[in-house]
């Protein structure tokens, strides 16, 4: 296991609970190979910038940002370099994990900087964040390898004094959209069985579904966030674009193992969004 990051704790001015960390969850950016290119009619890099600007305009300030995959659509040097420039300009530590459109090797080579990290574990005061790679090379669906499952169990065992937030790209529970659920985490049962063995495992955060989800499984709170570009229509049997703006999720981790969370969206959908597309 590579070295873990360390984040301190703060007190929440609006709550009697002690806030361990405020997390900005942003996901599914789909940066393209060249600046100015569009996907489903959306200039995804500008859409990402608009979401970050919206987050920066609020009085709420994150201690870290969690980026859960499909950071790029075209996994190449230019797309990751432009993303790194965007992230380096942020005044917050950014922790990245891969999605099915990403190249984990390129991510690890190109993204790390003073505030951009590709790390499997982040140690906080009373919490840890475990970042898993659920990608299968060349396939849109996901699976946690034996190595990733061992990483999960070792992290939960070695840090039983900390509550755990687990992050991955693929959804470990059905979204309710038949086409999307063909790309679910294949060994979700194995993953969830491990989490249920450890009462300090409290939250799972994921991307991939391009929509907000907030579900409960045993002790776990399972959270997905809107994409920073286009959204998928919930509960749809076939691919469909939703008429909902892009956005992000905020999460506050408390010292007693509880959380608060919510989703914020832009006022309008991204310009040029194509609603008649049958895929991307």
Q: CB of 44 within 8 A of CB of 101?
A: no
Confidence of residue 71 (pLDDT cuts 50, 70, 90): very high
pLDDT digits (tens, 9 = 90+) for 85-117: 999 888 899 999 999 999 999 999 999 999 999
Joined tokens for residue 198? 């450890």
Percent over 70 (pLDDT), the chain = 94
> Residue 12: its pLDDT value, please?
38
Report d(CA 94, CA 112) in Å as an integer: 9
pTM of the model: 0.93
Q: Is the pLDDT of residue 57 over 60?
A: yes
Joined tokens for residue 119? 């790390």
Joined tokens for residue 134? 């659920």
Q: Is the pLDDT of residue 260 over 70?
A: yes
User: Distances in Å between the alpha carbon of 262 and those of 12, 19, 69, 224, 268?
Assistant: 16, 15, 20, 11, 18
Q: How many CB atoms lie within 10 A of CB 275?
A: 13
> Residue 151: its pLDDT value, please?
98
User: Distances in Å between the alpha carbon of 22 and those of 81, 145, 177?
Assistant: 27, 30, 30
pLDDT digits (tens, 9 = 90+) for 187-233: 999 999 999 999 999 999 999 999 999 999 999 999 999 999 999 99
Confidence of residue 254 (pLDDT cuts 50, 70, 90): very high
Question: What residues contact 186, with CB distance under 8 A and at least 6 apart?
Answer: 141, 142, 143
Question: What residues contact 16, with CB distance under 8 A and at least 6 apart?
Answer: none
């Amino acid at each position: 296991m590579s070295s873990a990051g360390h984040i301190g704790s703060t007190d929440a001015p609006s709550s009697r609970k002690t806030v361990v960390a405020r997390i900005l969850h942003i996901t599914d950016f789909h940066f393209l190979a060249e600046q100015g290119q569009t996907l489903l009619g959306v200039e995804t890099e500008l859409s990402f910038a608009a979401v970050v600007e919206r987050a920066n305009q609020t009085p709420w300030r994150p201690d870290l940002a969690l980026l859960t995959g499909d950071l790029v659509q075209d996994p190449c040097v230019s797309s990751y370099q432009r993303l790194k420039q965007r992230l380096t300009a942020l005044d917050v530590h950014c922790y990245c994990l891969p999605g099915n459109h990403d190249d984990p090797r390129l991510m690890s080579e190109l993204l790390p900087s003073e505030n951009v990290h590709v790390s499997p574990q982040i140690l906080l005061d009373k919490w840890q964040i475990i970042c898993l790679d659920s990608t299968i090379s060349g396939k849109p669906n996901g699976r946690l390898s034996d190595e990733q499952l061992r990483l999960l169990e070792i992290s939960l065992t070695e840090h039983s004094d900390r509550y755990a937030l687990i992050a991955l790209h693929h959804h470990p529970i059905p979204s309710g959209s038949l086409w999307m659920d063909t790309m679910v985490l294949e060994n979700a049962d194995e993953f969830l069985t491990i989490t249920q063995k450890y009462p300090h495992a409290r939250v799972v955060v994921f991307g991939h579904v391009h929509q907000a989800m907030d579900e409960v499984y045993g002790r776990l709170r399972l959270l997905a966030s809107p994409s920073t570009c286009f959204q998928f229509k919930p509960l749809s049997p076939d691919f469909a674009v939703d008429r909902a703006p892009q956005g992000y999720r905020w999460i506050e981790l408390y010292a007693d193992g509880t959380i608060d969370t919510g989703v914020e969206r832009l006022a309008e959908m991204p310009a040029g969004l194509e609603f008649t597309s049958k895929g991307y």
